Amino acid sequence: MAAKVKYVLSIDGGGIRGLIPAMVLEEVEKRVTDKVKTKAQETLPKDGLIRIADLFDFVAGTSTGSILALGLTVNDEKTSRPKYEAKDLRELYETRGEEIFDKTLATKIFSIVGKYGDLLLNGAAKYNNENLIKILDEHFGEAKLNSDIVNNIKVLVPSYDITINERHYFKNYGSTKNSVKLKDAVQASSAAPSYFRAKKLDDDFYVDGGVFMNNPALRAYTDSVMLFKGSKIVVCSLGTGFYKEATIAWLENAGTLKVAEPIVALFMHQQTASTDYNMIDQQKISDGKLTYHRFQEKFEKDIGLDSTDSGADLKSAAKRIIGDEGYMDNGKTVTREWLEKRANYLNIDINSDLSDKEIDELIKAKRKETFNKFVEELSDNYISKFPNTKL
C-alpha cells in the first residue's frame, strides 16, 4: 500500500517582497482550478475556486510569509471556507504596501549601536506600526490560532522572544496550542529589527522570526514528519528573492546609521540559503520520503524589505519563477555570466555555441516545465481525495 502524501507550504520573510510568493500562489490557485475543471469538475468546491488551503496540509510563514500563511488559512465563519484567495493578498501588497511602510510616519533610528546589547533588536524603529496594525485588524479581526484555521490545517509562525532570548513558534498543534490572535502572531513575526518596534504580548517582547528563521522550510518539514507519521512529505518552499551582494554591504556602512538594515538582511539571507542546502540534503537521505521544491529568484539589484517602489521588478521576478518571463524579455539585457550561473543553478547543460537569447529561452522553458509539473501534481493529489473520481 502506497504511503499517504502530505503537502507542506513554506513561505520566506521579505517585507514588501512578499508580493512574489503571493503572485506565485495566485497562479497555483488559478491553474489547479483550471486543471480540476477539465479532469474532475464535480470535485470543485461550491465557490468554484480551489484555494491554497485545499491543497496543503501544513503551512508555515515567517514575517511577511506569516501574512500569507495565516491569510490563506484563516476560516470564513459564514462559509467555512478560506476567507481569502491568493489574489486578495497579492492586491494587499500592491495597494497597501506604501501604507505599511509609510515614509511620512517614519521615526528616527538610534545612531548609537553597541552600548546596549539589545539595541539592534529593540531600539527605535524606522516605521510607525500603526498602519500595519490597522491592516492586520481589518483582515484578521479577532480570529485565533487555535480555533480559526480552516480545514484542520497545521500552521507555524516563527518569532523571537527577546525578553527571554529564545525562539518562539506560534502554532496550532502540539501540547501547547496557542490561543494568540492571528493579527498578534503576524505582528510578532513581522517586527523586523530597525523597521518596526518589537511586539509586546503579555509581559514579553517579540521581534521578526527572520532573525533566526527567515526560511521556515526545515522546521516545517521536521514537524510534519512527526505530525504525519509514515507519510511521504512534499515541501513547496517559496522565496521572496535575494541580492547576494547585499549580504556584505554592511561592511561599507559600518559605524553609520545604515548599519542595522544590512545586518538584518545578512542574517536573513544566510539562514535562508543554509536552510535550502539542508533541505536538499534531507531529500537525498530521505529514501524517497521527501520531495523538495524550491521556488526562488535572484535580483539584479538590491530590493529592500521596504522598497515599495519596486513593484515592477517584483512582478517580473514572480513571472520568471513560473516561466512566464525571461531575463531578456521586453528588451531587457543581462550579462552572459548571469545567464550561465542561472542555467547552472537549474542544472541546464549549455555550450558556447548558444546565444544569450537561446540560453534565456532554455531557462524560461525549464522553469515553466518545473512549475507546471508541480501544478499537475497538486491537481492530481486534490482529485485523489475524492475516492469515487477517476483521473
User: Which positions are catalytic?
Assistant: 63, 208
Question: Within 13 Å of residue 100, how many CA atoms lie on the same side as its CB?
Answer: 28
Closest-CA residue to 13 (of 147, 180, 243, 189): 189
DSSP string, 165-176: TEEEEEESSSSS
Segment (H or E) for 59? strand 58-61
Segment (H or E) for 30? helix 19-40
DSSP secondary structure code for residue 386 in this structure: S
C-alpha cell at 326: 525571461
Alpha-carbon Rg for the chain in angstroms:
21
Contact assessment for residue 361 and residue 326, using Cβ atoms and an 8 Å cutoff: yes
Contact assessment for residue 339 and residue 363, using Cβ atoms and an 8 Å cutoff: yes
Query: What are the C-alpha distances in Å from 153 to residues 101, 221, 289, 368?
Result: 31, 14, 20, 29
Distance between terminal CA atoms of the chain? 19
Pair type for strands 232-238 and 204-208 = unpaired
CA separation for the pair 95, 88 (Å, rounded): 10
DSSP secondary structure code for residue 52 in this structure: G
Torsion of CA 245, 128, 216, 291, to 10 degrees: -80
Pair type for strands 199-201 and 81-82 = unpaired
- DSSP H helices in 152-301: 182-190, 210-213, 217-227, 250-253, 260-285
Contact assessment for residue 199 and residue 168, using Cβ atoms and an 8 Å cutoff: no
CA separation for the pair 194, 101 (Å, rounded): 12
